[in-house]
Chains A and B, each alone.
Chain A
């Protein structure tokens, strides 16, 4: 019988949640790396027992941990993230040039084909890669060097590269997103990049339709249709049908189109999920009601999913890397909150069950479907 393994990164450690395919009874392992911030944990699609975790601390800096037994044991691998060449400057909050400074790894994206290859999205925004299972990391300098880097500026959470999507049909094509620079695409394995932000409109920047400068919170794709991308921007839910060449808004009837997460159903490429958050001033659900919204039409119309979720006095947030989907026949949807809850819906969002309720604030959620 298939099983699922949910990898949860929190402000105070990592947790591994496992269940059989019914997803009703859960085993909770952790905290791993207790007391450390775990921004992201993710497993290799081709070697599912191999996991990578981004472990960091304001005191002790960045570590990367690797497990080869599904999270039972871990060992640190290389943690040296040094920018290629002279780092140069980007734009600071006050508009002045500010030196590029490595702060932490936000996101780890293992290769779809090679268990020794992993991409790392870091703050200050850059992309690194290991080709030896984490024994060393090298920057892919074409991204910062493509020309607009000097004009990138941080969002409220820092200038982070937080999303990396690999095209399953063309692994040399990748999409990434940076807050607050926007989305970028490579078609040559990361050697060169181009911004893909046409159609985005952001009122909080001097030129609302600028080539770069947009606060993209998350992008998602269905592996069967890599030309269709969905985006939760700071405000606005967006869609591209041409691999990012252009975007159009699909916020439809959402009660607010501010939010962080967005994800796609494992078997229905037009079914997408967001968690509307009241505003960028009030990072919690409207009226204290935690609601996932689902669109079965690629964003034209949306329905609220509330069964099993708190519908009063709930003032948590759901951060950008904290939603995932499994690939069981009845697609499971998962998300974690800043209040320490991790919810699962074993039926594509119709009803929700808490797996755990009192973890530290959840930073990321990933799920592995294991046979």
Chain B
């Protein structure tokens, strides 16, 4: 199972705990994980990726295995540890504002 850690406001919106576990078929990429996440939790559509472009929203970042994957291609395979479920994909809200 793929593990995804959501920021606080998206956890309350989706009414889930800190970590969500997803069954992602095929190659595990940002796109395939988020597609499954949004199918399981439709209220998250538009909150991580823009509706029309499917691009990451500007103040969110994707981290895993102590790497910033935010600027990787959405179709690039995620690290093996994420695909194996030993490490989570972190969706992180940028630290900004007051």
Cβ contact of A59, chosen from B9, B43, B45, B50, cutoff 8 A:
B9
A134 vs chain B, min Cβ distance (A) = 12
Given A59-B60, A80-B51, answer yes or no on A35-B9 (Cβ-Cβ < 8 Å).
Answer: yes
A359 vs chain B, min Cβ distance (A) = 18
A36 to B13, CA, bound (A): 11
Chain B, interface size category, equals: 20 to 34
**A61 at interface (Cβ–Cβ under 8 A)?**
yes
Q: Are B97 and A61 in contact (CB under 8 A)?
A: no
Residues of B within 8 A of A81 (CB): 51
Residues of B within 8 A of A36 (CB): 9
**A28 at interface (Cβ–Cβ under 8 A)?**
no
Chain A, interface size category, equals: 10 to 19
A81 to B50, CA, bound (A): 10
**A310 at interface (Cβ–Cβ under 8 A)?**
no
At the interface, is chain B mostly helix, strand, loop or mixed?
A: loop
Cβ contact of B51, chosen from A57, A59, A82, cutoff 8 A:
A82
Q: Which of A59-93 contact B (CB under 8 A)?
A: 59-63, 76, 79-82
A144 vs chain B, min Cβ distance (A) = 16
Cβ contact of A61, chosen from B7, B46, B96, cutoff 8 A:
B46
A227 vs chain B, min Cβ distance (A) = 39
Cβ contact of B52, chosen from A57, A60, A63, A82, cutoff 8 A:
A82
Q: Are A61 and B57 in contact (CB under 8 A)?
A: yes
Given A76-B13, A80-B51, A82-B51, answer yes or no on A59-B46 (Cβ-Cβ < 8 Å).
Answer: no
Given A80-B51, A82-B51, answer yes or no on A57-B45 (Cβ-Cβ < 8 Å).
Answer: no
Given A57-B9, A80-B51, A82-B51, answer yes or no on A63-B43 (Cβ-Cβ < 8 Å).
Answer: yes
Residues of A within 8 A of B57 (CB): 59-61
> What is the 8 Å Cβ interface bit string for chain B, positions 1-35, against chain A (1 contact, 0 not)?
00000011110110000000000000000000000
Using CB atoms, name the residue of chain A closest to B8.
A35
Using CB atoms, name the residue of chain A closest to B42.
A76
Quick one: which of B12, B51, B93 has the most chain A CB within 10 A? B51
A34 to B59, CA, bound (A): 19
Q: Are A59 and B93 in contact (CB under 8 A)?
A: yes
Cβ contact of B46, chosen from A34, A35, A80, cutoff 8 A:
A80
Cβ contact of B10, chosen from A34, A60, A62, A82, cutoff 8 A:
A60
A58 to B10, CA, bound (A): 13
Residues of A within 8 A of B50 (CB): 61
Report B's interface with A, CB cutoff 8 A: 7-10, 12-13, 43, 45-48, 50-52, 57, 59-60, 93-94, 96-97
List 15 additional contacts besides A76-B13, A82-B51; criterion CB under 8 Å.
Answer: A35-B8, A35-B9, A57-B9, A58-B96, A59-B94, A60-B9, A60-B10, A60-B13, A60-B57, A62-B46, A63-B13, A63-B43, A79-B45, A79-B46, A80-B51
